[in-house]
Structure 1
Amino acid sequence: MTIGLNHSTGLNHFMTSWKSGNDLGIGNYSFKIDPSGFPQVFLYKNLAKVWRAGLWTGQRLSGMPEVTHAYICNASFVNDDEEISFQMGTTNNSIILRVVVNETGFAQRYTWNPRDHRWIQIWSAPEEDCDKYGYCGPNSNCDKTQMYSDKFICSCLPGFEPKSPEAWFLRDGSAGCIQKPNASVCESGEGFVKVEHVKGYASAYYEMNGGTGCLTWHGEMVDIRTYTYAGQDFYVRVDAVDLARYRKNGGHNSKKLMMVAIVVVFVALICMAASAFYLRVKKRGRNSPSLSFIAPSTHFEESLHEKSAELLPLFDLETIAATTNNFSADNKLGQGGFGHVYKGSLKGMEVAIKRLSKSSGQGIEEFKNEITLIAKLQHRNLVRILGCCIEKEEKMLIYEYLPNKSLDSFIFDERKRLLLDWRRRYEIICGIARGIVYLHHDSRLRIIHRDLKASNVLLDAEMNPKISDFGMARIFGGDQVGADTKHVVGTYGYMAPEYAMQGHFSIKSDVYSFGVLLLEIVTGRRNAGSHIESPTLSLIGHVWDQWTNDKAIEVIDSKLEDSYPIAEVLRCIQIGLVCVQDGATDRPKMSEVVAMLGKEAFLPSPKQPAFIIKKANQGDGTRCSEGIASINEMTLTMPHGR
């Protein structure tokens, strides 16, 4: 494969996508070289840059660390008076390589497996937020390792600060960073700070230092990201104050001391929080097995208003009514068991406004629960809550607006499911799993969601998943991992057996729900409902039957066609079955699930799942003795969009 520009002939080689999987016309995406400045390879959507392959390092493009001379592929770059070109080949003539730009906006590389007669995907871009061009804006750095914590993946370069602190706090880094005010860089003790393992770039003037392999930039730095091992080093010029701060106590030692200080402060804060939590619980008594912060109050409205003001920005009813056009039907996004959701705009940002139904007595507790929970949570795979409104009889929550709505509107729709190729589905699965790990293990308090389902996973503009609707969630403290309740809440098809039948919920209840959701994403089918080709009444039963008969490949969504790595998909099916095992103790923790998805942990063989209910009429005319149990005092929601 060769792309590039021939100066003599004017011929420009580049790749374009099809319009769709069935339309071979010229599509919106192209893969080509930008010859201006220091030439680089870009993936474009029309004229907009989507992904950048980075600078040529002599062995590879810095944004493609997977391409080395020692692996399947090799690469070369030419930049002389005759041509500017990038070439990719194979290390062995027997290897057949295929590079494509597909209609969904990905550049992908495949090799041919002659034994199985199929193409195997070995590379795809962009794969994550940090791959997206300019995701963190100018003069900032995107570090994907932060996505596994509650930290923002964007950070300003040394000597810079967020251009819009408010947007930065809300995890929107698109405005980037600007140089700190009053910075002095004119022979006043200024110097350079080293930034390691990055994909560097500039949108302004550059100089090539002949013979040294170095580039010098002047202007804003755009599309910088950190790699764990690959990438290049560059130096940012800072003033004397910042330079002294970075040099204090000498390089790595200062970093270690800083880390120690952070850990000490963090532990102290935990101890203080734990002490306060213990005293608070002690005052309330020890009768409730669930250490939820939600408690009845004789002055409910006053306490609710105080709680909201303490945790979230408050908006007045007049402002909310104006931004939703007085809650008009045209602004309505959907509805759920506790009210309606409307689209609006506050402070120039699109938002989703959840309006609690006045007739929902149970919903008031859920509303207060969401305020208590979500305001304390910060993770890229959880929906962000931006404020609330409590006025007169109105109670509303303001969330970030997610344009692609809920996951169920995609995976259960025959047409829209075509937009979810395997790579996108896999990223959605992993994102949901990371969000649950944060709730169970990494947040300050252990949180059990209790209503994980496809309609409670929302998708942002880039199809990143965000878990929503914490009205039924419960908080635990200390080492507590479960509790019992007489009031079972949840959604048919997603509830673990021990919860549905006995009222016992735990972190393993969420694991079960995740397993159901994973299997729905892989198959494109709802768990609830009969399957014609299977003698069982659920998707879980159907997948289990096919798995035990070595036919698991037949449950994979046909909309994926053959564009997926079969081993990875089968691994996901096995993980899903491991998560929905009948015994809660047999199910893994979500941290173990994430390791399994990353192929970093042993994957056990699944035992029979729960709720394998046979259809009443069998082919031999007999009736199955199994039935569906009737459960009293249960609140169920149907698994449809809210």
Structure 2
Amino acid sequence: MNTKPNSKFLFSVTLLCAFLESHVSLAADTISENQSLSGDQTIVSAGGMFELGFFKPGQLSNYYIGMWYSKQVASEMTVVWVANREIPVSDRFSSVLSIFEGNLVLVNESKTPVWSTNLNSTTNSGSVQAVLLDSGNLVLKAGSSNNTSEPLWQSFDHPTHTLLQGGKLGFNKITNHTQILTSWKNLEDPAPGFYSLELALDESNSSILLWNRSKQYWTSGSWDETSHTFNAIPEMRLNYIFNYSYVTNENESYFTYSPKNPKIVSRYLLSASGQIQLLRMENSKQWKLVWSQPRQCDVYASCGAFSSCKPTSLNYCKCLKGFEPNQQSDWDLQFYSGGCSRRTGVKCGNAAGDGFLEVNSGSFPDNRQYEGFLSIESCRSACLNECQCTAYGYDNGCSIWHGDVLNLHEVEANDGDGRTLYIRAAASDIKEKRVIKPSLLIAIVSTITGLIVVIFGYFLWKKTMGKKREHKKNHNESKSKFDVGGGKDDAELPIFGLRAVVAATNNFAEANKLGEGGFGPVYKGILAENQEVAIKRLSKRSGQGHEEFMNELKLIAKLQHTSLVRLLGCCLEDEEMILIYEYMPNRSLDKLLFGIAQGVLYIHKYSRLKIIHRDLKASNILLDGDLNPKISDFGMARIFGINQNEANTNRVVGTYGYMSPEYARYGHFSEKLDVFSFGVLLLEIVSGKKNAAFYRFEHSPTLAGWAWELWKEGRGMEVIDESVRETCQLDEALRCIHVGFLCVQEAPDDRPTMSLVIHMLQGNESTSLPPSKEPTFSTHRNSNPVRSSEMPTIFSHNSVTMSLPEGR
């Protein structure tokens, strides 16, 4: 990077000043001879991508010539290149950038040159102009701006802390010039910082090296020509939207990258903290972190003392409870190594009222002192009574820590791989930060909810009984509450009279019909209190009956979750069997992906009952007024014991196309059946195509088979629904497709659990996904999961639930 010009410019200062007496107006993207740029003047690239001019990054009156994304691209100024990063100017109106003697030169308020392109003017005969391109490359050209010859100078050869699309990180073997990224000192000072990133100069070592001053800090690993990625950066393999290249020939060696879709805006940033970040622009004009290396939390003590590191956050360090940054100004600049200190000092001994705050960390700090096999209470007392003890932990024995606690990695409290560390804290901080444990909070909420239900049920009972007392005398099932179980914890539901249901649906009018499934038709209804409900009426033609009705009552009445449709009551009168649900105004889910996985995980793992739904499909996912998804229709669901993982059935039920092969063929099912169904649903949502639509194509009997063929050929983007392909986040859509393939693998053991599915869907691009095998039913040999002699009507339209008899 050229900075201060050589002495040959100094004698020409007087001549240069003459040019500055009058500022000639600039072309939109060009600075030509006899023109200059100063004050608030800028040039903008032809397509409006980049802008160049004076900017001030911090509170000091230090100005720099820099390049940033225009407002039409980024909502906040994002500087990608700085000319005079080591020598700022103090007055942008008196400082001028202009063409002089074949060079681009910046002079300060004292008319002293502080930066120049430093070309030998004897080689620059003829007119010269500087042009800002839409690639973010500032080029110095001889002649007119449409001259296509090699530039005399370009900013791509002199990057600062950012590598733009099409830029290079490498070195020229002819000129020995290198392209190196160098971090800023901090967010407000673009001067060269501690960290630099460069291509290994040893040609036998095709890797990128990150340096902390003169010490090697990190390496990318060697280049893999097969995968076109570096071995130590697995995240690169998961980024389906970028092309990476490592080029070496007799003239140069370099690394470069570009997005497959030219509309994507992205950049590599070497942050002031020494982290390499790949960022891409979202539709909201905000930057999104795609991946970063090295994972900052893997760098020892990167957050300093008494703080924790969270790798999924851009502001990855935070002080522990009861602590605050030693230097808040450093933390504001994302410089965290100074760490944190206590807000309130602690006293020695039990009498002081001090205690401990829990911290969940991925591992214990390594500077611990092992105290042996004490009980956890004895371990706590040992630390509390020792004035220099700052923390204790218990993991097959007691450990205590003295002095600073370093290198904590933040994990969720329910993460099974974490460790609980007890940090010593003042009594005031403990009281201030005391929180209700989740288990206690759940108990309190459940109790309050139960009281509300009881009170509401009582008044509803009185109202219902008052109106229906005479009519219900001769009906054994007619009581104010319907018992849906036999145990002490079983739920009771309000019962509605048939007259009220008929009135709510206008006598089951066709105009109020929302749809129809295997159970029967579903109607929209309005109760006397103007409450909108969905009313599901068992059809007399239905293959289902009392067993499915009772099954749904038992399950839904006991389950409460934001992702499950709520059952409000039922009606058993005049041989009618009717279920009354909360109304979902946005009907069933067709193309949008929401939090369905959370609801499935809840019934598999966290509900009072372990349940396999067995009929998860698009028409059984309903959307409320805020487009929140709710899982419905538990008529086919099965309850598992807490320790039960699988079961067999002689009666295969569900919807063809969503059934896993082991269930459709042999009646064998587990939670992996719901995972398979979720995978089909996921592929339907992303592609905007129904699985049933593929049964008529011999070459591709399923949606998964069609998608897999495109995926294998590197055409995964063609799977995405055309209507959203240009506007969606492509990497996220492709990740959903990948997860869908993992869910529909033939062997149940190869499919992920729902908790892992959620982790993969919610994780960022740095979350590794395992490779997927060919999905089941993707070839013609797998297209008949149920023997045709036993299943004469083989096709379902993915809307009607079917009961499939299966011989054993």
* TM-score calculated relative to the size of structure 2: 0.41
Q: State the Cα distance separating 1:358 from its structure 2 match.
A: 3.0
The 5 Å alignment of 1:465-484 reads 465-484=629-648
What is the identity percentage for the equivalent residue pairs of Structure 1 and Structure 2?
Answer: 47
Q: Is the 8 A contact 2:657 2:798 kept in 1?
A: no
Aligned counterpart for 1:306 among listed residues 479, 483, 487 = 483
Q: State the Cα distance separating 1:575 from its structure 2 match.
A: 0.6
Q: Is the 8 A contact 1:455 1:639 kept in 2?
A: no
Give, as a single letter, the amino acid of the residue that structure 2 aligns with 1:262: L
1:262 aligns with 2:407: no
Q: Is the 8 A contact 1:481 1:506 kept in 2?
A: yes
Q: State the Cα distance separating 1:582 from its structure 2 match.
A: 0.6
Rounded Cα–Cα distance in structure 2 between residues aligned with 1:625 and 1:638: 17
The unaligned stretches of length 5 or more in structure 2 are 1-57, 59-67, 82-132, 136-163, 167-257, 266-279, 287-409, 411-426, 448-474, 801-808
Residue of structure 1 equivalent to 2:563: 381
SS of match in other structure, 1:488: strand
1:89 aligns with 2:253: no
Give, as a single letter, the amino acid of the residue that structure 1 aligns with 2:621: V
Aligned counterpart for 1:630 among listed residues 769, 787, 794 = 787
SS of match in other structure, 2:558: coil
Rounded Cα–Cα distance in structure 2 between residues aligned with 1:73 and 1:399: 51
Q: Is the 8 A contact 2:744 2:751 kept in 1?
A: yes
Rounded Cα–Cα distance in structure 1 between residues aligned with 2:568 and 2:495: 9
The 5 Å alignment of 1:578-597 reads 578-597=742-761
Rounded Cα–Cα distance in structure 2 between residues aligned with 1:632 and 1:254: 70
Give, as a single letter, the amino acid of the residue that structure 1 aligns with 2:647: A
SS of match in other structure, 1:475: strand
SS of match in other structure, 2:587: coil
CA deviation map 1:468-511 (0-9, x unaligned): 11110111122112110010001111100000011011000000
Q: Is the 8 A contact 1:491 1:636 kept in 2?
A: no
Residue of structure 1 equivalent to 2:797: 639
Rounded Cα–Cα distance in structure 2 between residues aligned with 1:532 and 1:393: 41
Rounded Cα–Cα distance in structure 2 between residues aligned with 1:399 and 1:436: 19
The 5 Å alignment of 1:311-350 reads 311-346=492-527, 347-350=529-532
Residue of structure 2 equivalent to 1:456: 620
Rounded Cα–Cα distance in structure 2 between residues aligned with 1:491 and 1:460: 24
Residue of structure 2 equivalent to 1:355: 537
Q: State the Cα distance separating 1:527 from its structure 2 match.
A: 1.8
1:522 aligns with 2:689: no
Give, as a single letter, the amino acid of the residue that structure 2 aligns with 1:335: E
C-alpha spacing 1:610/1:361, structure 2 compared with 1 (3 Å): closer
Residue of structure 2 equivalent to 1:598: 762
The 5 Å alignment of 1:409-558 reads 411=591, 425-426=592-593, 428=594, 431-530=595-694, 535-558=699-722
C-alpha spacing 1:265/1:458, structure 2 compared with 1 (3 Å): closer
C-alpha spacing 1:319/1:546, structure 2 compared with 1 (3 Å): same
Rounded Cα–Cα distance in structure 2 between residues aligned with 1:611 and 1:631: 16
Q: Is the 8 A contact 2:692 2:798 kept in 1?
A: no
Give, as a single letter, the amino acid of the residue that structure 1 aligns with 2:437: M
CA deviation map 1:239-271 (0-9, x unaligned): xxxxxxxxxx967448757428728979x99xx
CA deviation map 1:70-104 (0-9, x unaligned): xx9999xxxxxxxxxxx94322167999xxxxxxx
Rounded Cα–Cα distance in structure 1 between residues aligned with 2:574 and 2:612: 32
Aligned counterpart for 2:732 among listed residues 558, 568, 576 = 568
C-alpha spacing 1:457/1:625, structure 2 compared with 1 (3 Å): closer
Q: Is the 8 A contact 2:521 2:538 kept in 1?
A: yes
C-alpha spacing 1:361/1:598, structure 2 compared with 1 (3 Å): closer
Rounded Cα–Cα distance in structure 1 between residues aligned with 2:785 and 2:762: 36
Residue of structure 1 equivalent to 2:774: 608
Q: Is the 8 A contact 2:525 2:535 kept in 1?
A: yes
Q: State the Cα distance separating 1:602 from its structure 2 match.
A: 3.0
C-alpha spacing 1:399/1:124, structure 2 compared with 1 (3 Å): farther
Q: State the Cα distance separating 1:565 from its structure 2 match.
A: 2.1
C-alpha spacing 1:126/1:518, structure 2 compared with 1 (3 Å): farther
SS of match in other structure, 1:89: coil
C-alpha spacing 1:333/1:445, structure 2 compared with 1 (3 Å): same
Q: State the Cα distance separating 1:546 from its structure 2 match.
A: 1.6
Say which structure, 1 or 2, has more relative contact order (CA 8 Å, 6+ apart). Answer: 1
Give, as a single letter, the amino acid of the residue that structure 1 aligns with 2:79: N
SS of match in other structure, 1:390: strand
C-alpha spacing 1:553/1:253, structure 2 compared with 1 (3 Å): same
Q: State the Cα distance separating 1:629 from its structure 2 match.
A: 4.7
CA deviation map 1:180-204 (0-9, x unaligned): xxxxxxxxxxxxxxxxxxxxxxxxx
Q: State the Cα distance separating 1:632 from its structure 2 match.
A: 6.8
Q: Aligned pairs, how many? A: 370
Q: Is the 8 A contact 2:494 2:569 kept in 1?
A: yes
Rounded Cα–Cα distance in structure 2 between residues aligned with 1:406 and 1:639: 15
SS of match in other structure, 1:528: helix
CA deviation map 1:502-528 (0-9, x unaligned): 101100000001111111111111222
C-alpha spacing 1:637/1:254, structure 2 compared with 1 (3 Å): farther
Q: Is the 8 A contact 1:487 1:633 kept in 2?
A: no
Give, as a single letter, the amino acid of the residue that structure 2 aligns with 1:307: V
Q: State the Cα distance separating 1:327 from its structure 2 match.
A: 1.1
Rounded Cα–Cα distance in structure 1 between residues aligned with 2:697 and 2:573: 53
CA deviation map 1:14-55 (0-9, x unaligned): xxxxxxxxxxxxxxxxxxxxxxxxxxxxxxxxxxxxxxxxxx
Q: State the Cα distance separating 1:390 from its structure 2 match.
A: 1.4
C-alpha spacing 1:113/1:491, structure 2 compared with 1 (3 Å): farther
Aligned counterpart for 1:391 among listed residues 553, 566, 573 = 573
Q: State the Cα distance separating 1:360 from its structure 2 match.
A: 3.4
CA deviation map 1:341-360 (0-9, x unaligned): 11111222211111112343
Q: Is the 8 A contact 2:687 2:719 kept in 1?
A: yes
Q: Is the 8 A contact 1:311 1:372 kept in 2?
A: no
C-alpha spacing 1:264/1:383, structure 2 compared with 1 (3 Å): closer
SS of match in other structure, 1:434: helix
Residue of structure 2 equivalent to 1:38: none
The unaligned stretches of length 5 or more in structure 1 are 1-58, 60-71, 76-86, 98-111, 128-228, 230-248, 270-298, 412-424, 615-623
Runs of 4+ in 1 over 6 A off after TM superposition: 72-75, 94-97, 124-127, 263-266, 531-534, 632-637
Residue of structure 2 equivalent to 1:37: none
CA deviation map 1:588-614 (0-9, x unaligned): 000000000112653100012111233
Give, as a single letter, the amino acid of the residue that structure 1 aligns with 2:508: F
SS of match in other structure, 2:536: strand
More helix by share: 1
Q: State the Cα distance separating 1:374 from its structure 2 match.
A: 1.0
Rounded Cα–Cα distance in structure 2 between residues aligned with 1:390 and 1:378: 23
Aligned counterpart for 1:118 among listed residues 239, 244, 263 = 263
The 5 Å alignment of 1:281-296 reads none
Rounded Cα–Cα distance in structure 1 between residues aligned with 2:551 and 2:559: 13
Q: Is the 8 A contact 2:684 2:691 kept in 1?
A: yes
RMSD value over aligned CA atoms? 3.9
Q: State the Cα distance separating 1:639 from its structure 2 match.
A: 3.4
* TM-score calculated relative to the size of structure 1: 0.51
Q: Is the 8 A contact 1:501 1:631 kept in 2?
A: no
C-alpha spacing 1:398/1:558, structure 2 compared with 1 (3 Å): same
CA deviation map 1:128-186 (0-9, x unaligned): xxxxxxxxxxxxxxxxxxxxxxxxxxxxxxxxxxxxxxxxxxxxxxxxxxxxxxxxxxx
Q: Which has the larger radius of gyration?
A: 2
Residue of structure 2 equivalent to 1:64: none
SS of match in other structure, 1:90: coil
Q: Is the 8 A contact 1:450 1:490 kept in 2?
A: yes
Q: Is the 8 A contact 2:788 2:794 kept in 1?
A: no
